[in-house]
A and B are shown apart, each in its own frame.
Chain A
Amino acid sequence: MALPTLTSRPKRILSTRSKPTSGRLARFYPYFLIAPAAILTVVFLVYPVGSVFYFSLQHSNVTQPWKDGFAGLENFIALGSDPLFWRSLSFTAQWVVVEVGLQFVFGLALALLINKTFIGRGIARALVFSPWAVSGILTTTIWILIYNPSTGIGRYLADIGIGEYGTSFLAGDTTFWAVVLAEMWKGIPFFAILILADLQSVSLELYESADVDGAGKIRQFTSITWPHIRQAVIIATLLRAVWEFNNVDLLYTLTGGGPASSTTTLPLYVAQTAIHDRDFGYGSALTVVAFVILTFFSLIYLRVTKSKGDDK
């Protein structure tokens, strides 16, 4: 093992030294290649992020142009006494925790199931993963058809004696769980796909030998599967939490943040401030707060999950 074999080892050397394009320009090649990606990102992502911070310190409201100008911290001070801000913040937390938690549990279960060998696995995979490709607005369309009081599923349930006619799932107490279910439908495949990708790299020999040793299914999961997929799970839950935090398509179109702002997340509040009120200054201040919260959350999450996993 200590001596490099001829077939595998010189790869690196060949790839860096004896390539056909030598000369002074050669070492700039990678930079030319990533330039388009880097330039687009800087112009349309990094610069806008910077300008949000700038706008958050300005009065900039299309409907009140006479007020435009430097605002200092006024937007942030206004935010402290804005009940909608606080309510949207607490709903965001509730939304992210419930969604990510449920999607993870069911996504993991689905990935474990669909990784087994059974008849029709290929088709089953394509079918259960398909909601992943469905947009937020389309999810809304589908679930509006299901939840609407006149021709939705409630009517058919009432036909067989469950519930009452004319029940709207998108009003009153059921709103939250109705929206949660719709988002789960779209979100479970995300976890399932990421976890399945990782499961497929677990060596089957490990399970075989565990079988021979008489380890049960649960023991196999905790001793082989879980340690293997743990890293992917950490990344997937973080990405999903960020995504659930940020994405507004479904809530914006399914409930519009209602009833009475009860399903307004912070980014949805931002979108409403930007699209309807055209208040760019205040919207930017809200955004800065959202960004700071998200960054801190991510850092803490990665720190907490890392310290546990260092024993590997």
Chain B
Amino acid sequence: MTALLTPPSTAKSVRRDSAPFVRPLSAEKKRARRIDRVLTYVPVALFLVFTMVPFYWMLLFAFRPTGSTSLVPWPITLDHFSTVWNGSGFGIYFQNSLFVAVMSLVVSTVIALLGGYALARFPFKGKALFLVAMLCTQFVPGAMMLIPLFEIFNTLGLTNSLWSLIISDTVFHLPLSLILMAGFIRNVPMELEEAAWVDGCTRIQAFRLIILPLLKPGIVAVGSFAFISAWNNFLFAIMFLSSQDRFTVPVGLSYLLGEFGADFGALAAGGVIAIVPVVVLFAYVQKFLVQGLSAGAVKG
């Protein structure tokens, strides 16, 4: 008990002393272990139900015929999808969203690679200030930016252009991209780069040949998060886009929601179209997110 309160180094030596004695598990310990297992699986199952039921509910509405009240989507129908894809214009919205998300991904990743490399590898004056400023941007309400950004894009002739979304979304997402990327670059051993320099590489060559291949997981993670946040953006899209052929999926969804006596089947199908790219991507990159944050993003 007392060892618990002393610093870790002492605690370790205590462990080492007692390690050779492997005690047989008593009946009491076994029972405790079983209780522990129940206390793990039951709450995990509850969390899973809470998470998955809403997803299932949407799939149910999207795939079952209009008028059906069955809790199983059978017989499966794809009518709702053809309604929203062709009738409500989700085909076009999907293309627009894809363009915005992919361009945001490219722009954010390139900028984050450049800035992240500077943050990870160079000591420079104003670095702390730059980091603090980047963090401060997270405190600016998106709603607050609507008015001035609208004015700026108006001046630049970019209202009702998908580029207004790409730019504003990249800017808002940049701090996270930068900090994550700097963390990933810091994790690539400096010695590898130095070895390349010794062998006659320039800094850029070393970056391209040594760092970049090792950075693939980081690039995938940062790019994916930029993609997801751009794909999901609603507020800027509804403010900046005015003609229907420029709408993105979230804007299309909000119009489906707004319709009186909404067609729930169509709404659910629209939701499925909106969700598939991000959830697939997220399932693939979520462990990089945890790793990236573990790598020191939270601690700065």
Q: Show the binding face of A for B, using Cβ within 8 Å.
A: 11, 14-16, 18-21, 27, 29-31, 33-34, 36-38, 40-41, 43-45, 47-49, 51-52, 55, 109-110, 113-114, 116, 118, 122, 124-138, 140-146, 148, 151, 153, 155-156, 185, 193-194, 196-198, 200-201, 203, 205-206, 208-210, 212-215, 219, 223-224, 231-232, 235-236, 239, 242, 245-249, 252-253, 267-268, 270-271, 274-275, 280, 283-284, 287, 290-291, 294-295, 298
Contact = CB atoms under 8 A, between A and B. Distances in A.
Contacts of B121: 15
Given A145-B61, A146-B54, A249 B14 contact: no
Given A145-B268, A206-B11, A248 B130 contact: no
Contacts of B1: 213-215
Interface in B266-283: 267-268, 270-271, 274-275, 278-279, 281-283
A310 B14 CA distance: 28
Nearest to A7: B191
Contacts, number: 311
Nearest to B228: A133
Given A113-B40, A197-B294, 9 more contacts: A36-B114, A49-B148, A133-B279, A138-B232, A141-B274, A144-B267, A246-B141, A248-B142, A267-B141
A153 B197 CA distance: 64
Contact of B286 (A110, A125, A148): A125
A246 B40 CA distance: 35
Contact of B118 (A34, A126, A144): A34
Given A141-B257, A141-B267, A51 B151 contact: yes
Q: Which secondary structure characterizes the binding site on chain B?
A: helix
Nearest to A198: B298
B69 interface: yes
Interface string B130-151: 1001100111111111111111
Contacts of B122: 29-30, 33
Given A118-B41, A253-B254, A48 B148 contact: yes
